[in-house]
Amino acid sequence: MWRHVFAYAMNPEVYLDADNIRSLLPKDLPEEVSCDLPLGERLGALRIRAEDLAARWRDLFDTLDAEREREAEAAILEQTAPLASAFGAALQGLSAPCVFEDPVNLRLMALLADDIGVGAPERSRFDRFRDICRAYEVTSVAGSIAQLSDTREIRDGMFRLPATIFAMSRRSDVFDCELIGLDLAWRHVGLLPVWGDLRLDGKRRRALDVSLATSIDLVQGQTANALALEIGEEIAGDRVRRARLCHGISIFAVLMEEMDALARAIVRSISDPRLAMAILVQDRAREARVYHSAFKLEGRPLSDWFAQSQDDPMPLVDALGRSRLIRPGQPERSQLINGLLRPDGAMFRIFSQADIAIIARWITSLAQEGERERAAETVLPKAVRLSPGRQPVAAGDLEIGARPGDIRTAYFLLQGRALAPRTRQFALDYCAFWLDLARRSVDRSDRSLPGDWRPGELREWLQTSHDAHGRAFEEARDQEFPSRESVIEQTVQLAPLTLIDGAWLQGFTDVSMASSRFGAPLFETYWDELGNGDWQINHPKIYRDVLAAMAVTLPPTGSRAFAEDRRIDDGSYRLPVYWLAIGKFPVTFRPEILGLNLAMELSGVGGSYRNAREFLKHHGFPTIFVDLHNTIDNVSSGHSAWAADAIDAYVQSSRDVVPVAESWARIRAGYESLAPLVDDPRELDFFARTSAGKPGRGAAPPGTIDTFHHHPLRETETAS
């Protein structure tokens, strides 16, 4: 079950109903006790419990010889790979346009950025974990995150904690405080007990210790744990949020201990043949029960034994040990191995060579008197019972969500991250409409990307475009300055766009993409737009400072009041809605996003930013916003260069699966989508131009829409 939840929740575009997620969470958590304690004491108790678990691991490793110790380390790495893939995942969905200016969310992003190794492709904590796996020759889990759920050697229960984290992260609008509490608990524990006895050098050990920073300087030089605790204390000042924070801490505590017990059972099985056989039997029990109804073992159909083994395999293991299929101490003469598993046997290829080695070792152990006596213990101890747990999850409702009937409602509705089914369909329709206009624009002007992609040529094209922008600026220098009123009006009309700067890249905060060769520069661009964790250089905040200098105050970006502000024209929301929509689909529209990103980062460099600076300076307004972009978007080492590098990396990495011409055509359309060429601006009106834009069933009037907005974490909540 849990591997399937993990695989499903890995999709950054998936919608998960909050009640379904709640049904997956552990029950009977000790929350009342937890929340009565000061946050530091609650975390201190968790740390003491983790130290106790670490002591158990040390005791277990003390019983292993050198060969078994190496096997144990390899088993730990293989089994904990899903957990390692969740480094940073609790925070991956917290950033959303409606909270782009929230200082607490910005500091949380600093923690996420550190976990994914921002600025260094393939240097996230999980990437470093994979390096460790390769060093131990554990190649089964050295691939991508998406491949882990298909690794059958990993026990289903080992997916529970990471699956829970990924699932909750898809609804950060609902579980924000719980996720922050969970992340805080993990950072307070630091290096998990299960990894404590791995023989690692300092750098690799640091990568697995989430209490410590890895790749960047955090806010004010803090450790990861100290920053997380500071944020937690700030949130815990509100009673309701404190309870939710404690809930997240408890979720982590319970699931960490469950995972730890399962991992220890697996390692114990290395030196305990009976336990190893029990684990193997339970792994195969569900499928095996289908095929063994005719065979009787001790008077019962073998299918019944397998049904029981899904929860407790030990009775079947011991019954097999007493059966005619086994000759204790003689695996080579036992029918199970030399008959059923032979090339002409009924169970040929059912078991791998590693599985057969486990069976042979167990049969050999049965010759030992102690093992024969212990076989009478037919109940698997609860501490190591390995049942994956199965429970039904209700199907989703495809009619959930609202479909906006006008552009202002669309802007308001798309401010979060999660998309309910009807809203998702609207976002897809809007993207399709906008990209259709963009495809018609390709090659209608000399601004389009080259007709073909060739390795290394995009950077040269970038320089040529930059030169053209520079010439255009020089040619326009003698033009008359626009009036003060005109500059203010233009700044106001650009607010819906600029206050969600980077929204097209929001999907690339996902840990599965943020450290990839093409994703790392996109995440770093997004990270820059939001100020690298520093509210003072947060781009939306700086833009509001410019507006304030013009005596203009606008409502919070994610509010209904902002979307309904009549100082802003309807047409000023059209491109922003496209940004908000396409940013929700980092997989579906990946090539288009790459093209759009290049267009956006290049659009003002060398030309329009310099013009804007002249206009602002002339009228005595601050120029910091355009100054900042003219430097960080530069074509040599800034965002424009990163955008080109991301495109090259994507095309190179996908060319064996998707024809280059197909990817490039989509990238070119994405590039044009920043400003599709139309004969009449009304052609950009989705709601007037398409039947999909007509209000219909599910289109909600203002004030009645159930949004999936995130909320600034500095506000206080009141208990209901």
Q: DSSP readout, 369-436? A: HHHHHHTT--S--GGG---------PPP-TT-S---SSHHHHHHHTTSS---HHHHHHHHHHHHHHHH
pLDDT band at 468 (very low <50, low <70, confident <90, very high): confident
Residues 296 and 82: their CA atoms lie apart, in Å, by 38
Residues in the chain, total: 720
Q: What average pLDDT does the segment 630-649 reach?
A: 79
Q: How many Å apart are CA 657 and CA 246, to the nearest integer?
A: 46
Query: Quick one: average pLDDT of 467-489?
Result: 75
Q: What is the pLDDT of residues 528-587, one digit of tens each?
A: 889 888 888 899 999 999 999 999 999 999 999 999 999 999 999 999 999 999 999 999
Question: Helix, strand, or coil here: 346?
Answer: coil
pLDDT at 485: 94
Give the H or E element holding residue 300.
Answer: strand 300-301
Q: Over range 506-515, report the average pLDDT.
A: 94
* Residues in CB range of 513: below 8 A, 6 or more apart: 12, 507, 519, 523, 586
pLDDT: is 451 or 378 the higher one?
A: 451
From the CB of residue 588, how many other CB atoms can be counted at a distance below 10 Å?
Answer: 15
Grouping H, G, I as helix, E, B as strand and the rest as coil, residue 145 is helix
Distance, in Å, from the CA atom of 640 to the CA atom of 206, rounded to the nearest integer, reads: 33
- How does DSSP classify residue 293? S
Question: Of all helices (H) and strands (E), which one includes residue 240?
Answer: helix 239-271
The Cα–Cα gap between 172 and 416 comes to 9
> Residue 625: is its pLDDT beyond 90?
no
**Distance in angstroms (rounded) separating the CA atoms of residues 621 and 551:** 11
Which position has the higher pLDDT, 393 or 293? 293
What is the maximum alpha-carbon separation in the chain?
100
Buried residues in 662-680 as b, exposed as e (16+ CB within 10 A): ebbbbbbbbbbbbbbeeee
Contact 606, 469 (CB under 8 A): yes
* pLDDT at residue number 471: 66
| Structure tokens, 354 | 């590693």
Tokens of 593: 């996003």
Alpha helices in 476-603 (DSSP H): 484-493, 495-498, 519-529, 539-549, 560-563, 574-582, 590-602
E strands, 112-186, in order: none
Cα torsion 7, 9, 11, 17: sign: positive
Round to whole Å and give the CA distance between 711 and 720: 17
Percent of the chain with pLDDT over 70: 86
Q: Using pLDDT thresholds of 50, 70 and 90, give the confidence band for residue 386.
A: very low
Q: Looking at residues 125-144, what average pLDDT do you find?
A: 91
Q: Are 307 and 325 in contact (CB under 8 A)?
A: no
Give the residue-averaged pLDDT of 381-388: 46
Average pLDDT over residues 71-89: 95
Task: Please report the pLDDT score of residue 637 as a whole number.
Answer: 61
Kindly report, residue by residue over 186-219, the tens digit of the pLDDT.
999 999 999 999 999 888 999 999 999 886 667 6
What confidence score (pLDDT) does residue 294 get? 77
CA 583 – CA 414 distance, rounded (Å)? 10
pLDDT at residue 607, rounded to an integer? 44
Q: Which helix (H) or strand (E) holds 275?
A: helix 273-288
Neighbours of 118 (CB within 10 A): 25
Please write the tens of the pLDDT for every residue from 250-287: 999 999 999 999 999 899 888 889 988 998 888 888 88
Query: Tell me: the pLDDT tens digits for 142-174?
Result: 888 888 988 888 988 899 999 999 999 999 999
Q: What is the pLDDT of residue 159?
A: 95
Burial class of 291 by CB neighbour count within 10 A (0 to 12, 13 to 18, 19+): middle
Cα gap 665→597, rounded to integer Å: 15
Q: What is the DSSP letter of 196?
A: T
**3-state DSSP call for residue 617?**
helix
Q: Report the percentage of the chain scoring pLDDT > 90.
A: 59
Once rounded to an integer, what is the mean pLDDT over residues 293-308?
88
- 462 or 701: which leads in pLDDT: 462
Write down the residue that tokens 């209490």 correspond to: 211
Strand (E) or helix (H) holding 297: strand 296-297
Give me the phi and psi of 525, to 5 degrees please. -65, -50
The predicted structure's pLDDT at residue 184 = 97
How confident is the model at residue 66, as a pLDDT? Answer: 92
**Span 338-360, pLDDT tens digits:** 776 777 666 766 777 788 888 99
Instruction: Find the angle CA(463)-CA(464)-CA(467) to the nearest 5 degrees.
Output: 90
C-alpha to C-alpha distance for 471 and 474, rounded to whole angstroms: 5
> Would you state the pLDDT for residue 702?
46
How sure is the predictor about 291, in pLDDT bands with cuts at 50, 70 and 90? Answer: confident
> What's the burial of 543, exposed, middle or buried (CB within 10 Å: 0-12/13-18/19+)?
buried
To 5 degrees, how large is the angle CA 613–CA 615–CA 618? Answer: 105
DSSP 25: S
Terminal-residue alpha carbon distance, the chain: 35
Determine the 3-state secondary structure of 664 from DSSP: helix
pLDDT of residue 419 exceeding 70: yes
Residues 435, 526, 643, 214: what is their CA dihedral angle, to the nearest 10 degrees? -140
- Find the radius of gyration of the CA atoms of the chain: 29
pLDDT at 247 over 90: yes
C-beta of residue 634 within 8 angstroms of C-beta of residue 497: no
Rounded to whole angstroms, the Cα distance separating 52 from 490 reads 62
- Letter for the amino acid at 102? D
Say whether pLDDT at 696 is over 60.
no
- Contacts of residue 240, defined as CB under 8 A and 6 or more positions apart, other chains included, come to 717, 718, 719
- Minimum mean pLDDT range among 35-44, 46-55, 116-125: 35-44
**DSSP letter at 658?**
S
Q: H or E segment at 651?
A: helix 639-654
Span of 135-149, 461-475, 528-542, 633-647 with lowest mean pLDDT: 461-475
Q: Letter for the amino acid at 379?
A: V
Lookup: tokens for 218 = 């955090």
What value does the mean pLDDT take over residues 366-371?
A: 68
- Looking up tokens 């964790």 gives 533
Identify the pLDDT of residue 130: 95
Give residues with Cβ within 8 angstroms of 323, minimum separation 6.
Answer: 297, 298
**Contact of 305 with 340, CB cutoff 8 Å:** no
Pairing of strands 296-297, 300-301: antiparallel
Token couple for 384: 């190591």
Closest CA to 603 of 561, 635, 569: 635
- Judge contact between 85 and 78, C-beta under 8 A: no
pLDDT at position 391, please?
52
